[in-house]
Amino acid sequence: MGSAPAASTAIVLENRQVGPGCYRMRLENEYIARCAVPGQFVHVRIPGPPLDPLLRRPFSVCQVEPSHGAFLILYQVVGRGTRMLSTLRPGDKLDVLGPLGRGFEMLRVGGGGNEGSVGNNSRESEGGNGIGSVGSGSGTVKVALVAGGLGIAPLIMLSHAIFRSGVGFVFVVGARSGELLAGLDLIPRASCGNALLSGCPANPEPASPGIVQGAHLPPSGCDMATGYTGPCCEVQVVTEDGSVGRRGLVTDALRDVLAGGDIACAYACGPAGMLREVARLGEAFHVPVQVSLEARMACGLGACLGCAVKAREAATRSGRAGYLRVCADGPVFWAEEVDLDGIG
């Protein structure tokens, strides 16, 4: 299951509001920065009056900086716990347990650039151990990443790992409105054909107004003019009110991406309704889908059985009947393993 979780102290380096109720917190914790794999989470004890709120809060690791011993989380203020988090300042300390859970299964790129193990339902490679199995075939294999709201958090870390492995991606990012788009600037910017990125030699279109700061910067490493041949990293932005990017639902854009073919796997994180639709589209287009789920959680370690999600037949076949634990069997599952109708 990857690195053993450890309860340790993390120091707040930065806690910045990046949208209405949306925050980005950068934390110093060498162990998590070194050990977390994409899709894993940290279980954060809320500092406040003693034991109130009682339980830890889980947050996906959004980005790691191993050289700085730091990592990022994104969060939205939705209750007392996150409200308290939002008041923390640089230098404050947090009790953080992690890294926890099973991460995303990475697309393996073999010598022929084929799909490798994706979609075979084998969960043999735990905690994202598949990462880094890279061959040739750069630029030909592509995956889709689908984020709804702050569901973008685990996918950002995943997008970096995918990029490093030489696989291209189309990152479809959705939110209710443009101001709720958080973390766009954290996506690898070695992009061609990116409608958002003005200054990209591959795409001279100006950026839409209202993009979070940083997203309009010329992408590092993107140099189509001089013959950039790395994997394509395309970002598509969709908002329900049309304030930024395409107007509509993130799943509308995903449907077009999948219809275009050549997508080997889709990774999704966001609201329950979005995940159900992504799973449906995956089935329709025969694209395997991995979803990152959230659930009310107590121990975070797999012991209390509180964060149950009903298993579907695909999981039962591998001997995991009944209920699965979001914290330990997930938070990332193949869509066909879990009953998505029962979540949210």
Partner 1 sequence: MASADLAVTIGAIKMKNPVMAASGTFGFGREFDRVFDISALGAIVTKGITLKPRAGNPPPRLWETPCGLLNSVGLQNPGVAAFIRDEAPRLAAYGVPVIVNISGDSLAEFCELASCLEDAPGVDGLEVNVSCPNIHAGGRPFASDPESVYRVTAAVRRVTGKTLIVKLSPNVAGIAGTAQAAEMGGADAVSCVNTYLGIAIDSERIRPVFSRVFAGLSGPAIKPLALRAVWEAASAVRIPVVGIGGICSPQDAIEFLLAGASAVAIGTGNFISPVACLEVVEGIRSYLEERGIRAATDLVGLAKGHAGHAAGSHSDEACVYEPKERKAKDDFATGKGRSHGGEQ
List contacts with partner 1 (CB under 8 A): 1, 4-7, 45, 51-56, 95, 97, 295-310, 321-323, 328, 342-343
Residues in CB range of 158: below 8 A, 6 or more apart: 38, 39, 104, 145, 267
Least distance in Å: CB of 341 to partner 1? 11
Least distance in Å: CB of 296 to partner 1? 5
Least distance in Å: CB of 259 to partner 1? 34
Count Cβ atoms within 10 A of the Cβ of residue 113 and give its class: 0-12 exposed, 13-18 middle, 19 or more buried.
middle
Least distance in Å: CB of 173 to partner 1? 28
Residue nearer to partner 1 on the CB measure, 30 or 262: 30
Least distance in Å: CB of 50 to partner 1? 8
Query: How many C-beta atoms surround the C-beta of residue 179 within 10 A?
Result: 18
Least distance in Å: CB of 78 to partner 1? 13
Residue nearer to partner 1 on the CB measure, 135 or 302: 302
Residue nearer to partner 1 on the CB measure, 212 or 343: 343
Residue nearer to partner 1 on the CB measure, 215 or 311: 311
Least distance in Å: CB of 172 to partner 1? 28
Least distance in Å: CB of 4 to partner 1? 5
Could you give the CA distance from residue 174 to residue 206 in angstroms, rounded to a whole number?
Answer: 20
Residue nearer to partner 1 on the CB measure, 130 or 300: 300
Cα-based angle 100, 335, 147 (whole degrees, multiple of 5)? 70
| Structure token digits, residue 27 | 């934390």
Residue nearer to partner 1 on the CB measure, 55 or 224: 55
Task: Please list the residues that pair with 17 across neighbouring strands.
Answer: 23
Residue nearer to partner 1 on the CB measure, 123 or 160: 123
Residue nearer to partner 1 on the CB measure, 55 or 249: 55
